[in-house]
Amino acid sequence: MAAATQQKDQGVRVYQHGAHILVAQLCRPRTRNAFDEGVYAQLIDAIEAYEADAALHALVITGHGDFFTSGMDVMSTIHTMNPRGPDAELPSKGIAPRFMHTMLRCRKLIVAAVNGRAIGIGVTLLMHCDIVFAADSAKFWTPFMRIGIVPEFASSYTFPTILGPMVANDLLLRSKEIGIERAVACGLVSEVFPAGPGFLQRVFDEIEPLVAEPVAAKTLSLFKSVIRRVREPLVREALVAEYVELDRRFLSGETYAAASKTIAELAAKKQSKKSKI
């Protein structure tokens, strides 16, 4: 797969770096790399293509510019959240859980290169990466409580188990943003590099020796399977439980009300900025 040229607003830019690394770069600058249905679909395709190619030993997920991702694109998905609307869709039947299960099924190495601020799913998906590198400018925020959305991607299990109960409560209950130092201390991030144009190359420099090993193809997947064998069924159980509650809230109209409120607040903030110009 040849390297792609620089483009903007293409959802996910997928290209190969060297002989063994596939890169999936979130590339929606206008929305700060927010997740919409197209992004989920492209990431599913990227993961499946990665697994099918025996020459590829690492998938690197990163973002374009100085943002990793701003989380869910509420503006583009609001039409599916009205339980009485023509485009209504139960959360558990949508493309987001399909992406989550695809990522959980992946038996090969997944590396996150968090190039900047990470919000929502940009934080929860890190729990399912094998190595997490981050820029020193990175911050992590999961405002689920603030917007009335249930914790997702099994974060109700992974956060307290991996990060510890107090960090989990700060992220999930208090909607508290945490900085890079605390992220490293609690185990959310493996290693930190300076932010800027050279960040991604530093990530490549770290993982290229690992994936170049002659035994990498079999050994990395074997080690990953052994490391995750105990927690994997518990992660899946948590993911299912979260979607049961997400479906209930969807049917009650709570999700739509919360999303509508968020959109109204964003619109008011945007108008306020315009009036000050």
Smallest Cα–Cα separation from 135: which of 178, 61, 194, 222? 194
Options 1.10.3190.10, 3.90.226.10, 3.40.50.300, 3.40.50.1010; CATH of 11-276: 3.90.226.10
Please report the pLDDT score of residue 9 as a whole number.
77
Residue 3 banded pLDDT, cuts 50, 70, 90: very low
The predicted model gives 59-88 an average pLDDT of 85
Please report the pLDDT score of residue 1 as a whole number.
38
Whether the per-residue pLDDT at 196 is higher than 60: the answer is: yes
Per-residue pLDDT of 200-245, as tens digits, reads: 999 999 999 999 887 777 888 899 999 999 999 999 999 999 999 9
Q: Is 66 helix (H, G, I), strand (E, B) or coil?
A: coil
Per-residue pLDDT of 93-141, as tens digits, reads: 999 999 999 999 999 999 999 999 999 999 999 999 999 999 999 999 9
Cβ–Cβ under 8 Å, residues 142 and 169: no
Packed helices 95-105 and 232-252: angle between N→C axes, nearest 10 degrees: 180
Please report the pLDDT score of residue 89 as a whole number.
84
For the question of whether the overall pTM of this predicted structure is more than 0.75, the answer is yes
Please report the pLDDT score of residue 170 as a whole number.
97
> Could you give the CA distance from residue 264 to residue 270 in angstroms, rounded to a whole number?
10
Whether the per-residue pLDDT at 183 is higher than 60: the answer is: yes
> Could you give the CA distance from residue 49 to residue 44 in angstroms, rounded to a whole number?
9
Residue with tokens 């997947």: 221
Please report the pLDDT score of residue 261 as a whole number.
78
Question: What are the sequence ranges of the domains in the chain?
Answer: 11-276
Percent of the chain with pLDDT over 70: 93
